[in-house]
């Protein structure tokens, strides 16, 4: 699907204000409410807009620690990768899992309320993931900036 400047404008606004009314959105992008609504429906139908979510403040719900975990597996066979991916999805504290090129096979983004909590997550979940040969964890000291908005 080709995105024109109006589609991109709609996407920029929706990424920052997912709960905006159609009337306000149409004003911001310079379209009639009905034309704007049709475009949003098309963007949703095409899967460009996948979902609408509430973004939480991790600190206010006691998940202030962000840890990036590099994982090296015992091998690259499909069975090993598939088993790892199926199990890592089941760990609630893992927010992201990326298959990598380079020295690590995967990088995980994990949240915890403290170093002790991460030790629990490591002991009860991460160390039991199938195929893991080596793990290296790095704690974020401070988040400089964070966004979910893609540059459209």
CATH number 3.30.70.920 given to 58-139: yes
Asked if residue 63 has pLDDT above 90, the reply is: yes
Q: What are the pLDDT digits (tens) for 35-55?
A: 999 999 999 999 999 999 999
Comparing 5-45 with 58-139, is the CATH topology the same? no
Average pLDDT (100-108) is: 97
Its CATH architecture, for the domain 5-45, is Orthogonal Bundle (1.10)
Give the mean pLDDT of the chain: 97
Q: How far apart are CA 21 and CA 104, in angstroms?
A: 44
Asked if residue 151 has pLDDT above 90, the reply is: yes
Show me where the domains of the chain are located.
Answer: 5-45, 58-139
Average pLDDT (59-63) is: 96
Q: How far apart are CA 84 and CA 69, in angstroms?
A: 14
Q: Taking the model in full, what pTM does it have?
A: 0.91
What confidence score (pLDDT) does residue 1 get? 84
What confidence score (pLDDT) does residue 49 get? 98
Average pLDDT (98-110) is: 97
Q: How far apart are CA 76 and CA 81, in angstroms?
A: 6
């Amino acid at each position: 699907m080709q995105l024109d400047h109006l589609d991109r404008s709609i996407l920029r606004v929706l990424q920052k204000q997912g709960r905006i009314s159609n009337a306000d959105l149409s004003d911001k992008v310079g379209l009639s409410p009905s034309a704007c609504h049709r475009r949003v429906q098309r963007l949703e139908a095409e899967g460009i807009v996948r979902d609408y979510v509430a973004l939480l403040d991790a600190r206010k719900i006691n998940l202030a620690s962000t840890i990036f975990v590099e994982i090296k597996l015992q091998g690259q066979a499909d069975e090993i990768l598939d088993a790892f991916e199926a199990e890592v999805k089941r760990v609630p504290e893992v927010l992201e899992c990326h298959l990598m090129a380079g020295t690590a096979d995967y990088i995980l983004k994990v949240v915890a309320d403290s170093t002790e909590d991460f030790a629990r997550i490591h002991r009860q979940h991460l160390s039991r993931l199938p195929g893991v040969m080596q793990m290296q964890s790095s704690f974020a000291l401070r988040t400089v900036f964070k966004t979910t908005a893609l540059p459209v």
